[in-house]
Chains A and B, each alone.
Chain A
């Protein structure tokens, strides 16, 4: 063994792959995020390598690997796979033991999780088979409007009132956005409208599981301030946004890996 052992959590999502490494003493050693390509198992390999490089560790230092996310079962060298529901809850609870609800909006799905006092999952809901209400929806819309994802949220906040986006389908909403632009609607109002549309979808999931404070938002979309503000208005609670919201699933997975030893 070349170094002190570490424990890895890998979250292979549809848009990005994330890895988190924990040391034996319970400290987080490093994390990494890369875009996941078509080959999910390769993305898992690459993101782990990147995290190990950051931590200055060799591959054989990794003692246990817990894989999560939609590509979890493609990670053939995993010790165990655990769903992203359980991992997000664990990661969020680790960051703040007061967390009772998690809203996660990732690339392909969105979910609302209700936690018991001990951090275990009480109830969860996921979006249906549709990209509306997910990060992919915002990506497609940003592309249509020629904007970067970073500019999306701040720009959306500028509008006083949102434009009405009536379609909840990504494909139809795209053409609706184009038609709104043609009618002379401002980009800011359209962005605010898109944030409102995604919020509406997530709010229905959140209502079904029931939100109680503290509410943490995780997933890439938590970086979009336009969506965050709208969700806060809709649910009536302030959202806790972790420093790096994309890695919470991987963080939970790493904690499970550490439990396993």
Chain B
């Protein structure tokens, strides 16, 4: 079998969509079209239903990382007094606001409002307060309490639902145009439909050999982050799903000669995505599942067709990183079984403490209870100053050597 890797065709379409999305958002700056900046785990369905364009500073920061301009943007934020210990996404975006340097010419369009949900971390709370000080626009804040148990309590779902209701009323009052409940229900439906497609695509990576790998899913998750709640999002993932079906039928492997199947925990290392993809491929290791893209296809166990808003509240409480270690262990173990994993790569992400804090304990549990080895990769999603090629290479190679010895 050829070692030549077959590129994913849909990538071109995704690039077009994302360019169009950012281009149109930028063009609407200063017009009647309202723009909101929102956290990646924020209830975007409400914005789409209100006809407001959502912009994701986190997605933008990841683009800056992948295009290797994040370091200079972080430095620009640090020059203005932000600590180097602050999340590198936050530093990247603050740096971009100050310098206007961005893959989007002129920088992100200015927001008319801000929406922050703390289901992904606590940093976003202070980050969005700072954005509020900079742009002097209203901030809607959704508190999604951290869940220590295995099941999310009904009172918590009610608590978040009440906040969503306040946000719906608040946005209606702010712009003098109430949000149409039917439109909101429809938006929630098509958002869930896109998430279901994304779930289906993730699930296809359980096939041996996997038709794409986690480094691809890191890239292809941009539409589910930014466009869930639009028809375009569904259209894109139908195309990607069909391409994956075709690759499975034709036996096209993301990593030709796939020998090891690994899981990835935490965000991508954006400035090294290609190098890491190549490095693992050379070692015949396919990363076939990751807790990170999986976070965007979360389906809350609680769903009620007659109360879609409550289902939405349950969804936004339910993400992987809004949960304690027992819950995370169960999720990881489920991935080990479903995707036939040989091990896990844990990106110990200097920027994302909410994600990284329990990794040593999780790695220990995976090894002791289930015999699954893990590799700790110390890095940062956007700040390449926290990266060392040689140290990472040695760790990765040694880990693959360990897996080879286990297989023998």
- Seen from chain A, the residues whose Cβ lies within 8 Å of a Cβ on chain B are 70, 82-86, 109, 120-126, 128-129, 208
Asked if B401 contacts A83 (CB within 8 A), the reply is yes
B391 at the interface (CB under 8 A from A): yes
Give, as a whole number of angstroms, the nearest-CB distance from A25 to chain B.
25
Residues of B within 8 A of A126 (CB): 391, 394-395
Nearest 4 CB-CB pairings of A with B: A85-B398, A120-B405, A83-B398, A86-B401
Would you give 20 A-B contacts (Cβ < 8 Å), ordered by A? Answer: A70-B390, A70-B394, A82-B401, A83-B394, A84-B398, A85-B394, A85-B398, A86-B401, A120-B406, A121-B402, A121-B405, A122-B402, A123-B402, A124-B402, A125-B376, A126-B391, A126-B394, A128-B378, A129-B388, A208-B364
In the assembled complex, the Cα of A201 lies from the Cα of B254 at a distance in Å of 40
9 extra A-B contacts, CB within 8 A, seeds A83-B398, A121-B398: A70-B390, A84-B394, A84-B398, A85-B398, A86-B398, A86-B401, A109-B391, A123-B402, A128-B378
- Seen from chain B, the residues whose Cβ lies within 8 Å of a Cβ on chain A are 360, 364, 367, 373, 376, 378, 386, 388, 390-391, 394-395, 397-398, 401-402, 405-406
Give, as a whole number of angstroms, the nearest-CB distance from A3 to chain B.
32
Give, as a whole number of angstroms, the nearest-CB distance from B290 to chain A.
22
Residues of A within 8 A of B391 (CB): 109, 126, 129
In the assembled complex, the Cα of A3 lies from the Cα of B252 at a distance in Å of 50
Residues of A within 8 A of B406 (CB): 120
In the assembled complex, the Cα of A86 lies from the Cα of B408 at a distance in Å of 15
Give, as a whole number of angstroms, the nearest-CB distance from A231 to chain B.
21
Give, as a whole number of angstroms, the nearest-CB distance from A130 to chain B.
10
Residues of A within 8 A of B394 (CB): 70, 83-85, 126
Asked if B388 contacts A121 (CB within 8 A), the reply is no
Nearest B residue to A88, CB-CB: B398
Give, as a whole number of angstroms, the nearest-CB distance from B374 to chain A.
9
Residues of B within 8 A of A83 (CB): 394, 397-398, 401
Residues of B within 8 A of A123 (CB): 367, 373, 402
In the assembled complex, the Cα of A82 lies from the Cα of B405 at a distance in Å of 13
In the assembled complex, the Cα of A74 lies from the Cα of B172 at a distance in Å of 64
Residues of A within 8 A of B376 (CB): 125
Nearest A residue to B374, CB-CB: A123
In the assembled complex, the Cα of A77 lies from the Cα of B353 at a distance in Å of 43
Residues of A within 8 A of B398 (CB): 83-86, 121, 124
